[in-house]
Amino acid sequence: MNVVILAAGKGKRMNSFLPKVLQRLGNKPMLEWVLDSAETLLQGQSPVVVIGHGAEQVREYFADRPVKFALQAEQKGTAHAVAQAIPSLENNESVLVLYGDVPLISPATLEEFSKQAGDEVGLLTVELDNPTGYGRILRDETGEVIGIVEEKDASDEQRKIKEVNTGIMIIPGDKIKGWLSQVGCTNKQSEYYLTDLIGFAAKEGVKIHTLKTKDHWEVEGVNDKTQLQRLERALQRKQAAKLMAQGVGLADAERIDIRGSLTCGKDVFIDVGCVFEGDVVLEDNVRIGPYSVIRSTKICADTVVDAFSHFDKAVVGESAKIGPFARLRPGAELSEEVHVGNFVEIKKSVIGKGSKVNHLSYIGDCDMGSNVNIGAGTITCNYDGVNKFRTVIEDDCFIGSDTQLVAPVTVHKHSTVGAGATVTRDVPEDCLFVRRAKPVTIPGWPRPTKK
């Protein structure tokens, strides 16, 4: 099947520098959602995306994706847009027409739709309590579709019809060129409507198969930020329902945001206000505290993450306890039974089994062994202003509070560093390292004043 996606609109009501189809839903452009849904029907073929406003921005964003582009230099209606794509089609198979600003159409709906239409005409419809703004589906006394009338051209009686056109249709490949050539623009908008093709099919006796969608948000278009936000919530509710069906516990299904993929094991619990981005894996019995942000991270079984923790491209081992207010930056790899407490930041570091960094510390570019205790306020000083260096803390070490470890430096196993030390040379095994200046009292020392 050929797939043509109309994506030439400006999206003036978005009030944005971005083309409408690059506006984000679930943290990816609306057009990307449509391309992903259509993939199962393409079987190796490239979809044709009709672009216009912001054409170069759209081309650039999807430069690494197998997409063909057709330019609609002037926006003269949907039939005119599809006509621009015809020279780029690879064969005479049927043409599925989709829209870059109708992002939540599902792969399952498209598969059912394509099977039902076969080699004939397919028309996706939806029934709305308030059909204002949509083209109405016209049927004869036997229930067969005989045409579509746009609201601006509809009579008062036709406007009472609640079954409306979604714009998504399938047109036989051997008919589409001829029908497009017959489309005129004698309507109030002076545009070439793709919906005219349905009338041509009815006149020629070509069977028109209709599929009525159950969820109206699947076929809802986006023209402004209010509609975009409405679809965002619909998307999040759908993803939350899927998680709960798999056994995930949510404190509030209305207060979770999944902006990528979230894979959960059994008995996972997620508190309110959490955001998941990229590819996130939560294994069995993981608990995520409120208002945490987890991005492209794997959290192993039986781990507890307390409130307001932020993870980015990290790995957390089993039975760890993290937070509250902890930050794991890219390259943080925590083994099992690790404790990372409040206001601790870990970056590009490996933390061994059972080690603890519980308070107000920065651990960067560090290789830490097992059963290490890091006192409050400890810093691995990994940057000299030009280069980064690593700190090594071996097994069973105790680092006192307010310690600075100036890399490159190694604290060998079973050693203790006294509080307040600045460690600039390696510490041998099984020893106590203490560095404290002799106390000095300066009488009459003037306190600095503001100049």
CATH number, domain of 365, equals 2.160.10.10
Task: Report in angstroms the alpha-carbon separations of 298 from 278, 284, 369.
Answer: 11, 12, 21
In this structure, the answer to whether residues 237 and 141 fall within a common structural domain is: no
The answer to whether 383 is annotated as binding is yes
- Residues 414 and 395: beta-carbon distance below 8 Å: yes
Is 105 within a domain? yes
pLDDT at res. 438: 78
**Containing H/E element for 392?**
strand 391-393
What does the DSSP 8-state code read for residue 210?
E
The two three-digit tokens of residue 239, written as one number: 């993803």
With a cut of 90, say whether residue 444 has pLDDT above it.
no
- Kindly give, in sequence order, each residue whose CB lies less than 8 Å from that of residue 281, ignoring residues fewer than 6 positions away: 263, 264, 297, 298, 299
Residue 233 confidence (pLDDT): 96
The residues, ordered by sequence, that sit 6+ positions from 349 with a Cβ below 8 Å of its Cβ are 331, 332, 333, 363, 364, 365, 366, 367, 368, 380
The answer to whether residue 68 sits within a structural domain is yes
Q: Is 2 annotated as a binding residue?
A: no
Supply the CATH number for residue 91's domain: 3.90.550.10
Residue 199 lies in a domain: yes
Residue 15 assigned to a binding site: no
- Please indicate, yes or no, whether residues 236 and 102 belong to a single structural domain of this protein: no
Based on the domain organization, do 252 and 378 belong to the same domain? yes
Assess whether 27 and 118 both reside in one domain: yes
Domain count, the chain: 2
In a domain, residue 443? The reply is no
Residue 185 pLDDT = 86
**Catalytic position from the list 53, 216, 359, 412:** 359
Task: Report how far residue 407's alpha carbon sits from residue 365's, in angstroms, rounded to the nearest whole number.
Answer: 9
pLDDT score of 197: 94
d(CA 225, CA 238): 20
Shared domain for 195 and 232, answered yes or no, is: no
The kind and range of the H/E element at 117 are: helix 107-117
| Catalytic (active site) residue 209 | no
Q: Are 159 and 241 in the same domain? A: no
Shared domain for 175 and 112, answered yes or no, is yes
Domain of 19 in residue numbering reads as 2-219
Residue 441: its pLDDT value, please?
A: 67
pLDDT in tens, 335-349: 999 999 999 999 999
pLDDT at residue 442, rounded to an integer: 73
pLDDT per residue over 406-443, tens digit each? 999 999 999 999 999 999 999 999 999 998 777 776 77
Domain boundary among 177, 193, 219: 219
Q: Is 447 helix (H, G, I), strand (E, B) or coil?
A: coil
Q: Are residues 276 and 371 in the same domain?
A: yes
Question: Is the domain of 264 the same as that of 203?
Answer: no
Same domain, 255 and 392: yes
Considering 177, 192, 219, which residue would you say is the last residue of a domain?
A: 219
Question: Do 242 and 298 reside in the same domain of the chain?
Answer: yes
Q: Is 376 annotated as a binding residue?
A: yes
Note whether 275 and 257 are within 8 A (CB): yes
User: 77 labelled as ligand-binding?
Assistant: yes
Position 440 in a domain? no
Tokens of 8: 């030439």
pLDDT tens digits, 82-138:
999 999 998 889 999 999 999 999 999 999 999 999 999 999 999 999 998 899 999
Instruction: Match 């203790």 to its residue by tokens.
Output: 416
Q: Is 401 part of any domain?
A: yes
Q: Is 165 annotated as a binding residue?
A: yes
Q: Which one of 204, 219, 234 terminates a domain?
A: 219
Condensed to tens digits (0 to 9), the pLDDT of residues 185-229 reads 877 788 899 999 999 999 999 999 999 998 999 999 999 999 999
Tell me the C-alpha distance between 451 and 366, whole Å: 41
331 and 182 in a common domain:
no
Residue 445 belongs to some domain of the structure? no
Query: How far apart (Å, rounded) are the C-alpha atoms in residues 49 and 68?
Result: 6
pTM over 0.85: yes
**Percent share of the chain, pLDDT over 90:** 87
Q: Is residue 441 part of a domain?
A: no
Closest CA to 115 of 170, 168, 167: 170
The mean pLDDT of 161-186, rounded to a whole number, is 94
